[in-house]
A and B are shown apart, each in its own frame.
Chain A
Amino acid sequence: MSRKLGAVALALGILVGAMGLKTMIAAHSNGAVVMANGLSPAPPVTGQHPPK
């Protein structure tokens, strides 16, 4: 039981840390899209999220 609670607590801690880090880095974000895997060029930065 304690191990399951530990897993939940650790997952929540990592999630909060990761989202906090992202928010901190993107504090002055203009919504630009750049971060992606691979070798191909990222699509043009339009200042908006990908097309809906």
Chain B
Amino acid sequence: MPSQFTCMLILGVALEVCFLVCSIFRGALLRYFFLNLYVILSLFADLVRQYVLHYYGFHSPDYVYVYYYSDLLLTLSLFIVVISLASRVFEELHFARFVRWVAVLLLLGTAVFSYGVIAQSSQRLYTTFAYELSQNLYFVGLVITYILWGAVLKLRETRTRLVQMVLALGLYFSAYAGTYALVNLGTKHEVVLVQYLGPLLGCFLPISWMVTILRHNEDSRLTPARLVALPR
């Protein structure tokens, strides 16, 4: 593995550990349980991937399997993070249960759709299904996060931590969708660039959430005028 990846890995793991420590000391571990769970799973997945990478090699099928199955696990947990934030945004409207229903339907719908896409083209479905479901869930998460952005603006959400966490998620999803587009439209050089962008983006969520937790407490509020500047 190139030394750049090792540096990014060490940086990312350090950021994830820092986020967890800050979360524990600022009392956000249980309050934002699913965010913390995602970071713990990400840390665990990175360690397992490194182990497999070290013992089986970068080009081995073992690494590919571990990479994409752990990716599915992480995408599922990220989807749950988005839904948990949506529940918080809509809880004052008593829509939290509605949001959970929509989430279950979305998960089932995405799974069925992914299965439908690959059912006729694969003999062994498991890995391809994991890959397809992971990618489709990513785009579902992206759309839900954009809807959440709209809801935060429309409902004049003022809880600073919540707003900043939603914004960070939106940026993260958008950046990944951008890299996906770049690879699909791009040349070999852009593909190489994206190989480096992926791990860098992996550092973005822990650092942004860590800054949010450190800078703001649970009672911090934004003024609506700062949240959206409407022309009078």
Residues of chain A having any CB pair with chain B under 8 Å:
3-4, 6-8, 10-12, 14-15, 17-19, 21-22, 25-30, 32-45, 49-52
Contact = CB atoms under 8 A, between A and B. Distances in A.
A42 B184 contact: no
Contact of A21 (B42, B50, B143, B203): B143
B134 A49 contact: no
Contacts, number: 152
B158 interface: no
Contacts of B70: 37-38
B215 interface: no
Contact of B106 (A14, A36, A51): A14
A37 B163 CA distance: 22
Given A32-B183, A32-B184, A52 B123 contact: yes
Interface stretch (B17-25, B29-37, B172-180, B221-229): B172-180
Contacts of A22: 135-136, 139
A36 B198 contact: yes
B122 A52 contact: yes
Contact of B184 (A28, A36, A43): A28
A44 B136 CA distance: 21
A4 B176 CA distance: 32
